[in-house]
């Protein structure tokens, strides 16, 4: 059976490519790449000679028919993004859904991830975390994203462009409070890799004075670290609302928020009940 391989590629340092990823790229019949010019640098280094086929946000849907035809003909394919793990804030989700639906094998080739690299070096809790990706740029969607970070009992990982980083940090400061901890990872695995850790206003001031360049990943600490910041009941309501929206049973939600936030069981059930009735 033909296979679609989801191959993680280096996020900066090309030496981070795994032997398995290199072998896969050398062995497939075609490589689906977000930017063929960037991927060519890697495939030339690895000696991978398969033709590169562009697959990005603007042509993903129209590529699906050809991809299924190639797989039906017995061709193994690899899907790569510009850097890191495919589908994580990158194209490919519709392709994978279609390939799975058509009955073909989809196999991940794990490797570099900016999300995990930034998280584990942040100095913030890494046992439970939420990945949001890029925060919406404006309007109600942005406010919803910011409030989600503010109320999160887990560490949150975000992507942001360098020219919008300071605005994001200041907006987060407004909703999370001045004591919330954050770590900004810039140019991960590259020559000028940098981690700046501190409170939201401290890190925002740092980058106001030193405008950032390159790839940026932001890791925001959980609300529990923000003593006296977000009210515990507001935090519980935010978490309960998210869990209910996921279809989790109200009784389970109440037990979960009581355990996570050290709330009295009666208070947790009241919060969940009020949300269900509203």
Tell me the per-residue pLDDT of 132-151, one tens digit each, with 9 for 90 and over.
999 999 888 999 999 999 99
Looking at the DSSP bridge assignments, the partners of residue 160 are 216
Average pLDDT score over residue span 222-250? 75
Strands of the 77-80 sheet, one edge to the other: 52-54, 30-33, 77-80, 3-7, 105-109
Residues in contact with 91: Cβ distance below 8 Å, sequence separation at least 6, in sequence order = 34, 55, 56, 57, 60, 81
Cα–Cα dist 98/260, whole Å: 38
Predicted local distance difference test score (pLDDT) of residue 228:
43
| CB of 6 closer than 8 Å to CB of 106 | yes
Q: What sign has the CA pseudo-torsion 35, 36, 42, 46?
A: positive
- Please say if the pLDDT value at position 261 is more than 90: no
Cα–Cα dist 247/72, whole Å: 37
- 112 phi, psi to nearest 5 deg: -55, 145
Average pLDDT score over residue span 97-104? 97
Predicted local distance difference test score (pLDDT) of residue 108:
98
Predicted local distance difference test score (pLDDT) of residue 231:
61
Q: What sign has the CA pseudo-torsion 157, 161, 166, 172?
A: negative
How much of the chain exceeds pLDDT 70, in percent?
A: 96
- Please say if the pLDDT value at position 19 is more than 50: yes
Going by pLDDT thresholds of 50, 70 and 90, the confidence category of residue 225 is very low
Going by pLDDT thresholds of 50, 70 and 90, the confidence category of residue 224 is low
| CB of 55 closer than 8 Å to CB of 34 | yes
Predicted local distance difference test score (pLDDT) of residue 48:
97
Average pLDDT score over residue span 158-182? 95
| CB of 174 closer than 8 Å to CB of 123 | no
């Amino acid at each position: 059976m033909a296979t679609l391989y989801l191959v993680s590629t280096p996020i900066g340092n090309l030496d981070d490519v795994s032997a398995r990823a290199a072998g896969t790229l050398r062995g497939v019949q075609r490589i689906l790449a977000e930017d063929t010019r960037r991927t060519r640098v890697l495939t030339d280094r690895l000696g991978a000679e398969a033709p590169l086929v562009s697959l990005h946000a603007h042509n993903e849907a129209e590529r699906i028919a050809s991809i299924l035809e190639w797989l039906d003909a017995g061709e193994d394919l690899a899907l790569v993004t510009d850097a890191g793990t495919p589908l994580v804030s990158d194209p490919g989700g519709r392709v994978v859904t279609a390939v799975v639906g058509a009955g073909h094998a989809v196999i991940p080739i794990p490797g570099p991830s900016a999300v995990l690299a930034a998280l584990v070096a942040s100095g913030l809790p890494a046992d439970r975390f939420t990945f949001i990706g890029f925060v919406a740029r404006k309007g109600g969607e942005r406010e919803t994203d910011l409030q989600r970070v503010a109320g999160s009992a887990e560490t949150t990982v975000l992507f942001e462009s360098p020219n919008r980083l300071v605005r994001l940090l200041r907006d987060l400061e407004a909703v999370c409070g001045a004591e919330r901890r954050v770590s900004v990872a810039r140019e991960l695995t590259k020559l000028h890799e940098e981690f700046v850790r501190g409170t939201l206003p401290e890190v925002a001031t740092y980058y106001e004075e030193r405008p950032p360049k390159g790839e940026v990943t932001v890791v925001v600490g959980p609300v529990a670290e923000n003593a006296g910041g977000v009210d515990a009941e507001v935090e519980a309501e935010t978490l309960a609302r998210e869990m209910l929206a996921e279809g989790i049973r109200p009784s389970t939600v109440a037990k979960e928020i009581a355990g996570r936030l050290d709330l009295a069981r009666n208070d947790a059930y009241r919060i969940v009940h009020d949300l269900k009735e509203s």
